[in-house]
Amino acid sequence: MVIGSSRVDDGDEDEDDVDDLENEFDYVQGNGKTRHQWQPEDSESQQPIPRLTNGQEVSGEIPSATPDNLSVRSTSGPPVHSLPYMDPRQPVPVRIVDPSKDLNSYGLGNVDWKERVEGWKLKHEKNINQMTNRYSGERRGGGGEIEGTGSNGEELQVVDDPGQSMSRVVPISSSHLIPYRIVIILRLIILGFFLQYRVTHPVNDAYPLWLVSVICEVWFALSWLLDQFPKWSPVERQTYLDRLTLRYDRDGEPSQLAPIDVFVSTVDPLKEPPLITANTVLSILSVEYPVDKVSCYVSDDGSAMLTFESLSETAEFARKWVPFCKKHSIEPRAPEFYFAQKIDYLKDKIQPSFVKERRAMKREYEEFKVRINALVAKAQKTPEEGWTMQDGTPWPGMIQVFLGHNGGVDTDGNELPRLVYVSREKRPGFQHHKKAGAMNALIRVSAVLTNGAYLLNVDCDHYFNNSKALKEAMCFMMDSAYGKKTCYVQFPQRFDGIDLHDRYANRNIVFFDINLKGLDGIQGPVYVGTGCCFNRQALYGYDPILTEADLEPNIIIKSCCGSRKKSRNVNKKYMDKNRAMRRTESTTPMFNMDDIDEGVEGYDEERSLLMSQKSLEKQFGQSPVFVAATFMEMGGLPPSTDPAILLKEAIHVISCGYEDKTEWGKEIGWIYGSVTEDILTGFKMHARGWISIYCMPPRPAFKGSAPINLSDRLNQVLRWALGSIEILLSRHCPIWYGYNGKLKLLERLAYINTIVYPLTSLPLLAYCILPAVCLLTGKFIIPEISNYAIMWFILLFISIFATGILELRWSGVSIEDWWRNEQFWVIGGTSAHLFAVFQGLLKVLAGIDTNFTVTSKANDEDGDFAELYIFKWTSLLIPPTTVLIVNLVGIVSGVSSAINSGYQSWGPLFGKLFFAIWVIVHLYPFLKGLLGRQNRTPTIVIVWSILLASIFSLLWVRIDPFTSDDKLDSIRGQCGIDC
């Protein structure tokens, strides 16, 4: 009836025995903020902090004028004699003491000080690192206590060492990595000898079969090289959230964490249920991050009123849900998945107040679901030509701020993060570029309204499973070693609702836990489309701020090792030239928003020389407000900004014609030209010299849904493969694009592998049919079964399995996940990848476009994994089914022929049977998907497959390429007729 999960009965009688209260909350949590120690009591002695017009503060505005959260310099105003603010990221200043003067004048002549200095010296001589609170943290010759209790008995604040990194690289154990690399080299050698044997030993009586098999094997070898060597130096990373908190988010002080804008993209509310989108939004609004630093933007690219109305309901429910989450520190903070947990809470001592509040909140959520499902029931489908206004004019686009400006508080009176609904303008005759265009519109809108220094995008079905995910990303983005050159932090995708055995490899464990870890040791993982935190400056097309070591020439040895060590022989002119082309640090003057109509003014002389106003508009578009925001590297909004002007400008930047004659989609933002805009966007950033980081926190940062139905899964893979073919045939192809010395060799190989893998479907399909052909004709691709041939085959298979086993050893992936990945590689290669090759060629060469299909994200309403057994007809099912039938027929034919021919024919038969069974075993999950729950295959699939198999068999008999003319004459003579 309606899309969403079913409603449970009123009351919580079903929770008497089980609940989800284990380790759910922490009562030791402060809610209030105290006066800062550095803040003087005389408020008049402080310089006033700039505010927006009419004294109102806008979410995303910089809360305090400190060097950390303002990327501007104050150029006017009288000197202020207030207590200086100590930046926690900078070392503590040391007082210079003149020994000729009396120490009492410095406050160092008291007995307490002398005793503490003597104690410090004694413990330092004994190499004792741990000191008592009274003597800890002294500096020789100075009066600045670092930690512990001062001479006046006051508690002193802990000062963080800015030299300490907020993350560390955890290399894979050498006992795991060295054998792995040795086996790779051995496999490469064995593969070379195997191919040499295959090429030099043709099969004369089955030359076409031999030639096809050799071509396929050579392609498989090249494909393996592209996939294997980017995994040469895998690494893991560990973050230190305590250091991030100590450095940027201390209790009692204004948070210095960078503002973040979170993007949620949705298109069709019928395929992407509003309840799922609402859960994602609720998990964002309740993250553990300063509320004035978080803004959530929801892109409704389908212009559906259902999405707008459901988001309005979500904003109201968030006023109750967010304080409940933060009060009890529950995980996850998406209510649908939180209440679905079944945990026995009777084992732990839970305060009755929590149980009562939880039950009340669950009833509130059930009522919220009823309201959402009622909206779904009465929703109107969006017209194909889009919505129009009452006067007939096209839909102009819409922006609605639900939370964060006026009245954006929860039931406890605390501020909530800003929630903004965005529906960009769409008109006939304009190219809207699907998801990439929607994301670029969000970049501009967010820059105008809040201008967070960093962006994080998630699909509407990927909720925050870890409330500290933003802080995990900031451990890299705000780190002194990584921040200036990191374009994005990619999190792995994890999924709910997958069947126990993951029949169609929906989890992609091999890709996320093996391939991306390998890339993290080179230049960083590829962008996978969701769960990624971006540096806004990287999306603007700017180059990173690199060190001398990063500017070294990109030689092969450096690329293979992934080394970033500093070289003393770097060409100084080369470095100066590259630095001159880059942007300066984040010390730029403030823009005067009153001069918007006259153009962007107030830049310093250096920026005025680099870019004129005309070139800025050509690059970013004709929006002075947006152009001004691009120069504020630390985010935030300038002072004296009228919110009405911002909203008017936000509507302007989402208009259809805004991107005309600009660099949007070419060099700025999400890159156009492929349905898989994620790969293309990440590749452009890496080609400019940026690095990316792969962050895998112990608790998965995000969780989403995946299609468990066979047809939906194949259509999803088809879309990915089609995007790769589009990139392969474009000017941004990694094979020939970006040779400027900034993209590492192994990183390039990884990108080449991501775009050429659909082409493997052609040799794979041929190789899967070869066993059946050999069984039907009695021929084989190997001249004779000799010991020499058997040796190379055995060694090759041993090296393949050894490589896989050692990969599982250092990555922690289970052998079942690895085997499912191998099976679906064959299933997808003989179906979706094959169609993608032909569709891509038609689209690029003939201009025949294919429709973008949104993957269904509906819940199972008919039981657990009911979607798994539903059959949905698609032409993608025909090729694998044909391969299955042909191989089964071949096995029957080969065994029958061996029985009739005698004992001597069984030896050659085993080799043919091995390859045929290899194909069938890999296609077994596909066969189960065809049979469904009732073990019945739809008639249309059987008819098409038998028809194709029959046509193939009849053509083969008619052509009969392996029968000589003399043998044909003898056969005709035996027939007695003119055959």
Q: What amino acid positions are annotated as catalytic residues? A: 301, 678
Three-state secondary-structure class, residue 535: strand
Give the Å distances, CA to CA, from 46 to 33, 41, 77. Answer: 20, 10, 12
Three-state secondary-structure class, residue 240: coil
DSSP string of 815-848? HHHHHHHHHHHHHHHTTHHHHHHHHHHIIIII--
DSSP string of 873-899? --GGGHHHHHHHHHHHHHHHHHHHHHH
Q: Are 160 and 237 in contact (CB under 8 A)?
A: no
Distance of alpha carbon 295 from alpha carbon 452, whole angstroms? 8
Distance of alpha carbon 249 from alpha carbon 256, whole angstroms? 6
Total Cβ atoms within 10 A of residue 330:
23
Q: Are 878 and 944 in contact (CB under 8 A)?
A: yes
Sheet holding 398-403, edge to edge: 398-403, 418-423, 294-300, 260-266, 454-459, 532-535, 486-490, 691-694
Where does residue 789 rank: exposed (0-12), middle (13-18), buried (19+ CB within 10 A)? middle
Residue type, 337: F
DSSP string of 603-671? --HHHHHH--HHHHHHHH-S-HHHHHHHT-TT----SS--HHHHHHHHHHHTSGGGGTTSSBTTTBSSP
Residue at token pair 């070289």: 567
Distance of alpha carbon 130 from alpha carbon 115, whole angstroms? 17
Start-to-end CA distance of the chain, whole Å, equals: 64
Where does residue 848 rank: exposed (0-12), middle (13-18), buried (19+ CB within 10 A)? exposed
Structure-block tokens of residue 804:
């896989």
Torsion of CA 629, 630, 634, 639, to 10 degrees: -20
Distance of alpha carbon 702 from alpha carbon 483, whole angstroms? 22
What is Dmax (Cα atoms) for the chain?
129
- The secondary structure element, H or E, covering residue 308 is helix 305-328
Distance of alpha carbon 819 from alpha carbon 718, whole angstroms? 21
DSSP string of 771-795? HHHHHHHS--SSS---HHHHHHHHH
Question: Smallest Cα–Cα separation from 717: which of 946, 876, 552?
Answer: 876
Total Cβ atoms within 10 A of residue 353:
10
Residues 6+ apart with CB under 8 A from 181: 232
Distance of alpha carbon 177 from alpha carbon 320, whole angstroms? 50
Q: Give the DSSP letter of residue 263.
A: E
Residue at token pair 């002194």: 480
Let me know how long the chain is: 979
Question: Smallest Cα–Cα separation from 334: which of 262, 270, 266, 286?
Answer: 286
Residues 6+ apart with CB under 8 A from 197: 788, 789, 792
Distance of alpha carbon 137 from alpha carbon 155, whole angstroms? 13
Residues 6+ apart with CB under 8 A from 957: none
